[in-house]
Amino acid sequence: MTNKITRLCKLMLIPVLLVSLTACGTTASKGDKIGTVKVQSDKQIVKKIKKEQSKHKKSKTRKKQAKRSKKKKFNFQGDANHPMVKKSGGRLLYSETEINHAKPGKYKIKHIDYDKVYLKKDEKPSKVGIYSNVTKDEKVYWKGEEIVRYNQTMKFEDILSKATLNGKSIKLPMKFSDLGKQFSAFDDVDFSVFDYSVHQFYITDTKTGNTLHYFVLPEKKSDPYSGDKNTLTLFLYNENNQELIDVAVDRGKNEIYELMNVLGKHKYKVALNGVGIGNTYNEFYDEIGEPNRLVYGSVAYRGSTVYNHLSIEHKKKIYDSRINRYLNVKNNVVTILFLDNKGENNGK
């Protein structure tokens, strides 16, 4: 840029020098005119320099905008005619090997308060206040190594009415479109034709790059999380291959009946009136009340069936996607949350 301006200045100075040389030996009255010409020439030089600078700045801005708007390229080599995705008209692709080869890398999860959740180096876990092993009213002790039953009159519908995903109200069971319109294409997946002889598959939306991933160890004959052959547990990823949330799908109804949320892993947060992963057992107690039971340290708020419940768990170490390593978690912080409802027999 500097060389360009220098060349421009030289070119503009030539006419000025010619005028000056011609003016030598003329009368004094003509000297005033020469001075005026020189002033005008200087202004023209400055004007052209500014114009060049503005042109260069606009060019850089256009390049930046083009870079931002450029969509990531995905290697779509899936099967658009597979029975599970056929009715999507080519928008969804099925594959038993990964389609989206984008590398997720490290990513920050906005809803995590790192100072509140994780222990700093050499910091000892506090067991007072929200991190205490017992509630303020001393009714519930969180560290039992057995099954302890508590509230038997809780209405599970009251808990469901408080459920939100990223701050927006949700109802279970739900469709993929209820997670957001960017996931609506997944409502066209026919999970009923799934064959459990397949231990892994990916279904990718060619328009958004969002992906559903199913994985189970080859020696397993059914979903490892529930043992229910009518259930598929799926991992939902965005176009950058970052994991958003895990879901359980009822294959018979083609709908989501469970959300599974993991601290440090999922970019989405399930909460009950604002409390979810990253909050403590005592904060859940203050917001929701007495749990239904404790099962070896995990806390359950259960309805009338095994498919109507909220459970929360604490792990001392959790893998964090921001730094790609395990971190020590503060006492009684919720690291895993399950919320499910099949929409049947919701009792007390």
Of 69, 97, 115, the position where a domain reaches its end is: 69
In 96-230, DSSP assigns E strands to: 147-149, 163-165, 168-169, 200-205, 211-215
Instruction: Give the Cβ contact number of residue 261 at 10 Å.
Output: 23
Q: What is the 3-state secondary structure (H, E, C) of 216-232?
A: CCCCCCCCCCCCCCCEE
Instruction: Give the Cβ contact number of residue 47 at 10 Å.
Output: 10
- How do strand 92-95 and strand 147-149 relate by DSSP bridges? unpaired
DSSP state of 267: S
Of 69, 101, 118, the position where a domain reaches its end is: 69
Q: Residue 59: phi, psi to the nearest 5?
A: -65, -45
Give whole-number Cα distances, 146 to 141, 171, 294, in Å. 12, 32, 8
Q: Looking at the structure, do residues 171 and 301 belong to the same domain, yes or no?
A: yes
Asked if 338 contacts 309 with a C-beta cutoff of 8 angstroms, the reply is: yes
What pLDDT is recorded for position 14?
A: 43
Is residue 76 assigned to a domain?
Answer: no
Distance (Å, whole) CA 303 – CA 323: 38
The C-alpha angle with vertex 132 and arms to 129 and 138, in degrees rounded to 5, equals 100
What pLDDT is recorded for position 124?
A: 92
- Closest to 343 (Cα-Cα) out of 157, 209, 176: 157
Q: Looking at the structure, do residues 19 and 145 belong to the same domain, yes or no?
A: no
Instruction: Give residue-wise pLDDT tens across range 14-66.
Output: 444 444 444 444 444 555 555 555 666 777 787 778 777 777 776 766 666 65
What pLDDT is recorded for position 23?
A: 46
Q: Looking at the structure, do residues 277 and 152 belong to the same domain, yes or no?
A: yes
Distance (Å, whole) CA 161 – CA 343: 13
The C-alpha angle with vertex 106 and arms to 338 and 271, in degrees rounded to 5, equals 25
Low-confidence residues of the chain, pLDDT below 50? 2, 4-5, 8-9, 11-28, 69, 225, 346-348
Q: Looking at the structure, do residues 183 and 322 belong to the same domain, yes or no?
A: yes
Q: Residue 326: phi, psi to the nearest 5?
A: -80, 140
What pLDDT is recorded for position 42?
A: 75
Question: What is the per-residue DSSP string for 54-109?
Answer: HHHHHHHHHHHHHHHHPPPP-----BTTSTTTGGGTTSEEEESS------------
Distance (Å, whole) CA 71 – CA 60: 19
Residue range(s) defining the domain that contains residue 235: 86-341
Q: Looking at the structure, do residues 30 and 90 belong to the same domain, yes or no?
A: no
Asked if 234 contacts 213 with a C-beta cutoff of 8 angstroms, the reply is: yes
What pLDDT is recorded for position 218?
A: 67
Is residue 192 assigned to a domain?
Answer: yes
Distance (Å, whole) CA 168 – CA 92: 27
Is residue 17 assigned to a domain?
Answer: yes
254 residue type, one letter: N
Structure tokens at 216: 């189970």
Q: Looking at the structure, do residues 116 and 56 belong to the same domain, yes or no?
A: no
Asked if 341 contacts 307 with a C-beta cutoff of 8 angstroms, the reply is: yes
Q: How many domains does the chain have?
A: 2
Q: Looking at the structure, do residues 209 and 149 belong to the same domain, yes or no?
A: yes
DSSP state of 225: T
Q: Looking at the structure, do residues 53 and 105 belong to the same domain, yes or no?
A: no
Q: Looking at the structure, do residues 90 and 63 belong to the same domain, yes or no?
A: no
Q: Looking at the structure, do residues 228 and 288 belong to the same domain, yes or no?
A: yes
Q: Looking at the structure, do residues 22 and 156 belong to the same domain, yes or no?
A: no
What pLDDT is recorded for position 150?
A: 79
- How do strand 270-272 and strand 163-165 relate by DSSP bridges? antiparallel
Asked if 241 contacts 107 with a C-beta cutoff of 8 angstroms, the reply is: no
Q: Residue 214: phi, psi to the nearest 5?
A: -115, 135
Of 12, 37, 69, the position where a domain reaches its end is: 69
